[in-house]
């Protein structure tokens, strides 16, 4: 039994002749608050498709034709212990799990 590619997955092809391809423009910046010198916040941006994921920079513009874009912000809850570590750890885990989920779905399996 052959598996048909899912046309709704990024990078799997087009459903029609779209004349306008949407794009996202972003800019990310995170600074420490007024009470602490350590910045407890973190952000992550990457493009993901059926082949995997690639990290995106602080500023950019990316077409939505062939990729899904994932943006995440993690607030380290300034004032708590190791908030900077917790926020970065969360985003590291997301950056590992989400691309794996896309690959699994593209193979026709349930993540």
CA proximity to 99, closest of 46, 53, 55: 53
Domain for residue 11, yes or no? no
Domain for residue 63, yes or no? yes
Q: Is 87 exposed, middle or buried (0-12, 13-18, 19+ CB in 10 A)?
A: buried
pLDDT above 60 for 14: no
pTM: 0.63
Average pLDDT over residues 105-111: 71
Domain for residue 40, yes or no? yes
Q: How many domains does the chain have?
A: 1
pLDDT of residue 60: 94
Domain for residue 85, yes or no? yes
Domain that holds residue 88: 36-106
Domain for residue 53, yes or no? yes
Cα separation of 91 and 81, whole Å?
18
pLDDT of residue 11: 62
User: How confident is the model over 55-95, as pLDDT tens digits?
Assistant: 899 999 998 888 888 898 888 776 667 777 888 888 888 87
Domain for residue 4, yes or no? no
Domain for residue 13, yes or no? no
User: How confident is the model over 17-45, as pLDDT tens digits?
Assistant: 555 788 899 998 887 777 777 778 888 89
Domain for residue 19, yes or no? no
């Amino acid at each position: 039994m052959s598996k048909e590619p899912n046309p709704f997955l990024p990078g799997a092809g087009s459903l029609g002749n779209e004349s306008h391809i949407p794009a996202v423009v972003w800019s990310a910046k995170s600074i420490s608050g007024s009470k602490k010198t350590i910045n407890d916040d973190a952000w992550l941006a990457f493009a993901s498709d059926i082949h995997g994921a690639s990290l995106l920079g602080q500023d950019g513009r990316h077409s939505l034709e062939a990729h899904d874009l994932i943006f995440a912000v993690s607030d380290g809850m300034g004032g708590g212990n190791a908030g900077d570590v917790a926020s970065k750890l969360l985003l590291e885990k997301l950056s590992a799990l989400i691309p794996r989920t896309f690959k699994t779905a593209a193979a026709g399996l349930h993540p």
